[in-house]
Structures are given as structure tokens and as C-alpha cells.
């Protein structure tokens, strides 16, 4: 199974049926796989905080949501993560492209990469980092953990994991 | 009529439906006027009442009314294309447009100047957009509920606030009580 199919398969196996996305070049394949899945309502968002609002509503409506976005979005969503997702104690798996790591061709992406883990740590968001392809084997457990503890949980996926850009 | 007058007149019509209410004074006023398990009060996160309401409407079948403000819609403008392109006929977005940021001291918004939120919603692709006066808002909401069509209502009212206490309910209690009402 290719890595995008594996990710979507784990989401569906964990009853995730509502996924919002803001694109990143690295995430193009998994976003295509989400769009193609008959078990998932895919709702592209214009901004990641908007996407988190959609996910909060879907969760209260009885669906398990997830968001797929780039690490630059951490800068956009801090207020939403703190005053909506965490304050009301809602689960939210966040599959995040970790731009600005080894292999990155765009210098500006490094400027956010150096803050990404520090910001997530400051927000007390459980954070996992997929670097090798086999790290994806943990995804199923991470999703179960997210819906067990009702927290936003970050899964950072770097260029080595995605085999380049 | 100011926003609290509109909410007071509207409360009996809202009572049977799920309501996502905007941060600040709108939530505080609705909480004071008619606190119900079917009300979800936003205590933070300006701008997301419409997004939360759309997500909720897409996830289940009951009618959802998001009570938003002109300032909050301006903050989250990207919501209107998302709403237009993900039609949920059980969703009503009621924008109470008083042309000002009421909760922060009535600073004017652009919606009270040249910008028409109804025109923007139509341009974004929303198919049923109704602009009405504050006095006609209850009827507009009743019509939208009866139509079973996703509807954006822009209710033009006067700027101004009443004195209301802050909501001291715990956010998890608000959310848990609301989710119980969604399932009921």
C-alpha cells in the first residue's frame, strides 16, 4: 500500500469521516487520496483556523474530524487551538507537512520550521515526528490516542518521510 | 432596534433549533435572554461561528442557525466561499449587521460603510441570500427554516449594546450539554 493510501486507510479505520485541508506541495498526494475516499467528506478550507472551526462543528455533530495543513499554519491557528479546540476539550488530529527540514529548497520555510516544535511544546500539544517511512506505522495508535484524550495532536511529516519534494 | 432587541424577538423562533452563537456580547445576550442546551456559546475565537455551524450542519440532520456579526464575518471572510461550495440545506447563517464591532466599543466596520455583506455572499456563490431590516428578521428566519434551503440572512440593525454579565459556565460543560442536545 502506498503511503497516502495507508494514511487514509488508518483514518477511515478510526472512523474519521470529515477532513479539512489547506494544501501544501508535500501533501498533494494525501489530499488527493482524501478527496477520492468514499468514506470521507473532504472540505477544503481557505485558512486553517476556519478549518478548525469546521472540525469543531463536525465533532459536535457526531463525526470524527481531522485537519491536513502545513506547519506555517501553526502561526495562523494558535488562538483557535487554545480558545476553541483546547478550551472546549475537542479532539483534532493534525497531519502537518514539516516544511523547512533537510532537503528543503525554499529558505523562507526554514524560518517557520525552527519555531514549529517550540510552539507546539509551548501549547502542550502532543507532537509526533514522522521522518522514516516506517514511522507511519504509529499513525493508527496516534489517532486512537487523540480521540481517547480529546486533545489536538500534531503529526509532523518531513521531506525525508515524503521522499523529497 | 439594536442586536439585543433582535435576539429577544428571535428567541422563541430559535428555541427548537441548534444555535451557534458568536463570541462576546451576542453570546452573553442570548445566554441572558434564553439559555438553552441547544445553544453553543463561543467564549473565544472571533470569526468562527459560521465555520462551526457549517461543520455541525454537514455532520448531522438537525437545523443549525449560526448567529454571527458583521465584524466577525469580515474577520473570517474565507468562510463564505466554503459555505457556498458545501451546501447544507439545514444551515442558516444569520449575520446581525450593526456596522460596528459591538463587543469592543462600537468601532465602525467596513460593512457599515461601502461593503455589502449580502453582495459579497452572493458573489461567493451563496444561492439564497436575504437582506432585511432588524424589524423583519424574525420573519426572515422563519421563512428560511420553512424553506429547507441553506440561507444567508443579513439583518441590518442599529449599533448599541445593553449591559450583560459575562458567561461563567465552564466551556466543557457548554460543549457537553450542547452535544447532548444534538443527540437528543
Number of domains in chain A: 1
| Cβ distance of B171 and A87 shorter than 8 Å | yes
Question: B16: pLDDT confidence band, cut at 50, 70 and 90?
Answer: confident
Read off the DSSP letter of residue A73: H
For an interface test with A, the pick among B19, B21, B52, B67 (most A C-beta atoms closer than 10 Å) comes out as: B52
Q: Give the pLDDT confidence of A2-61 residue by residue, as tens digits.
A: 999 999 999 999 999 999 999 999 999 999 999 999 999 999 999 999 999 999 999 999
User: Å from B43 to nearest chain A CA?
Assistant: 8
**Residue A108 counted as domain residue:** yes
Question: Do the beta carbons of residue A46 and residue B78 sit within 8 Å?
Answer: yes
CATH (domain of A49): 3.40.50.970
Report the SS3 class of residue A133. helix
Domains and CATH numbers, chain B: 3-183 (3.40.50.970)
> What is the pLDDT, as a whole number, of residue A1?
80
> What is the pLDDT, as a whole number, of residue A140?
98
Q: Residues with Cβ < 8 Å from A157, sequence gap 6 or more?
A: A26, A95, A96, A97, A98, A130
**Residue A150 counted as domain residue:** yes
Q: What percent of chain A has pLDDT above 90?
A: 98
| Cβ distance of B55 and A57 shorter than 8 Å | yes
Question: B54: pLDDT confidence band, cut at 50, 70 and 90?
Answer: very high
> What is the pLDDT, as a whole number, of residue B116?
98
> What is the pLDDT, as a whole number, of residue B142?
98
**Residue A163 counted as domain residue:** no
User: Å from B116 to nearest chain A CA?
Assistant: 21
Residue B131 has pLDDT above 80, yes or no: yes
SS3 content of chain A, % helix, strand, coil (to 5): 50, 20, 30
User: Å from A135 to nearest chain B CA?
Assistant: 31
Question: Do the beta carbons of residue A30 and residue A68 sit within 8 Å?
Answer: yes
> What is the pLDDT, as a whole number, of residue B5?
97
pTM over 0.95: yes
Q: Give the pLDDT confidence of A105-125 residue by residue, as tens digits.
A: 999 999 999 999 999 999 999
Residue B151 has pLDDT above 90, yes or no: yes
Which residues make beta-bridge pairs with A57?
none
Report the SS3 class of residue A159. coil
Task: State whether residue B182 sits within 8 Å of chain A by CB.
Answer: yes
The average pLDDT across A88-113 equals 97
Residues in chain B: 184
Task: State whether residue B81 sits within 8 Å of chain A by CB.
Answer: yes
Mean pLDDT of chain B: 97
For an interface test with B, the pick among A21, A50, A77 (most B C-beta atoms closer than 10 Å) comes out as: A50
Q: Which residues of A touch B179 (CB under 8 A)?
A: 60
Which residues make beta-bridge pairs with B39?
B19
Q: Kindly give the interhelix angle for B171-183 and A48-60, rounded to the nearest 10 degrees.
A: 60
How large is the ipTM? 0.97
The average pLDDT across B153-159 equals 97
Read off the DSSP letter of residue B158: B
∠ CA A21-A102-A24, rounded to 5°:
15
Q: Give the pLDDT confidence of B37-52 residue by residue, as tens digits.
A: 999 999 999 999 999 9
Region of residue A104 (phi > 0: left; psi between -120 and 50: alpha; otherwise: beta): beta
Residue A165 has pLDDT above 80, yes or no: no
**Residue A32 counted as domain residue:** yes
**Residue A103 counted as domain residue:** yes
> What is the pLDDT, as a whole number, of residue A94?
98
> What is the pLDDT, as a whole number, of residue A164?
81
Question: Do the beta carbons of residue A91 and residue A150 sit within 8 Å?
Answer: yes
Q: Which residues of B touch A47 (CB under 8 A)?
A: 76, 78
Please state the separation of Cα B145 from the chain's center in Å.
Answer: 14
Question: B174: pLDDT confidence band, cut at 50, 70 and 90?
Answer: very high
Q: What percent of chain B has pLDDT above 90?
A: 98
Amino acid at each position: 500500500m502506498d503511503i497516502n493510501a495507508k494514511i487514509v486507510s488508518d483514518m477511515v479505520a478510526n472512523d474519521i469521516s470529515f477532513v479539512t485541508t489547506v494544501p501544501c506541495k508535500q501533501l498533494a498526494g494525501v489530499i488527493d487520496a482524501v478527496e477520492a475516499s468514499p468514506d470521507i467528506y473532504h472540505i477544503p478550507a481557505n485558512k486553517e483556523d476556519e478549518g478548525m472551526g469546521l472540525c469543531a462543528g463536525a465533532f459536535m455533530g457526531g463525526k470524527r474530524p481531522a485537519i491536513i495543513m502545513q506547519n506555517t499554519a501553526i502561526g495562523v491557528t494558535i488562538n483557535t487551538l487554545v480558545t476553541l479546540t483546547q478550551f472546549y476539550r475537542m479532539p483534532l488530529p493534525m497531519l502537518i507537512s514539516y516544511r523547512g527540514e533537510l532537503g528543503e529548497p525554499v529558505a523562507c520555510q526554514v524560518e517557520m520550521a525552527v519555531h514549529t516544535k517550540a510552539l507546539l511544546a509551548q501549547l502542550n500539544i502532543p507532537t509526533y515526528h514522522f521522518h522514516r517511512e516506517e514511522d507511519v506505522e504509529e499513525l493508527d495508535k496516534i489517532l486512537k490516542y487523540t480521540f481517547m484524550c480529546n486533545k489536538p495532536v500534531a503529526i509532523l511529516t518531513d521531506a525525508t518521510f515524503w521522499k523529497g519534494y | 432596534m439594536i442586536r439585543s432587541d433582535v435576539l429577544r424577538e428571535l428567541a422563541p423562533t430559535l428555541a427548537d433549533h441548534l444555535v451557534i452563537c458568536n463570541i462576546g456580547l451576542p453570546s452573553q445576550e442570548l445566554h441572558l435572554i434564553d439559555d438553552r442546551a441547544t445553544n453553543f456559546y463561543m467564549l473565544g475565537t472571533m470569526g468562527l461561528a459560521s465555520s462551526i455551524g457549517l461543520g455541525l450542519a454537514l455532520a448531522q440532520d438537525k437545523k443549525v442557525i449560526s448567529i454571527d456579526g458583521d465584524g466577525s464575518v469580515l474577520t473570517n471572510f474565507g468562510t463564505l466561499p466554503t459555505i457556498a461550495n458545501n451546501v447544507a440545506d439545514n444551515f442558516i447563517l444569520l449575520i446581525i449587521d450593526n456596522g460596528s464591532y459591538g463587543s469592543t466599543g462600537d468601532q465602525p466596520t467596513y460593512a457599515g460603510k461601502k461593503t455589502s455583506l449580502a453582495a459579497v455572499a452572493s458573489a461567493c456563490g451563496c444561492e439564497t441570500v436575504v437582506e432585511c431590516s432588524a424589524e423583519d428578521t424574525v420573519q426572515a428566519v422563519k421563512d428560511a427554516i420553512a424553506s429547507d434551503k441553506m440561507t444567508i440572512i443579513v439583518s441590518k440593525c442599529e449599533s448599541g449594546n445593553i449591559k450583560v454579565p459575562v458567561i461563567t459556565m465552564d466551556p466543557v460543560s457548554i460543549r457537553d450539554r450542547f452535544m447532548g442536545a444534538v443527540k437528543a
